[in-house]
Amino acid sequence: MGIVSGLAVYFIIWWTALFVVLPIGQQAQHEAGERALGTAESAPVNARMGFKIVLTTILATVVFAIFYLVTQVWGLSPDDFPHVIPGT
């Protein structure tokens, strides 16, 4: 795997991990009993995006390290697993 391919895979993993991390610790305005004028009731009270970006980066790095270990060091690929559908 080259540098560009590795960065592309890392970006995809990071973006997917972001959507996993985003709902962690969220509290909507209607749940907190606070409501800022001009916002939806479902808007978060405190998004803490800096924390979530750091957490996403840590999670994505761990997942990418596992992916790299399995595919590049151990040499496993999807072809190494048995086919679920016969004849494929």
Domain ranges within the chain, ordered by starting residue: 3-80
Q: What pLDDT sits at residue 88? A: 62
Q: What pLDDT sits at residue 51? A: 94
Name the token pair of 60: 């994505």
Q: What pLDDT sits at residue 63? A: 97
Contact 45, 27 (CB under 8 A): yes
C-alpha 45/C-alpha 56 separation (Å) is 20
Q: What pLDDT sits at residue 27? A: 84
Residues of the chain with pLDDT under 50: none
pTM, full prediction? 0.78
In degrees, rounded to 5, the angle at the alpha carbon of residue 70 between the alpha carbons of residues 84 and 79 is 30
User: What would the pLDDT profile of 17-36 be if each residue is shown by its tens digit?
Assistant: 999 999 988 888 888 787 77
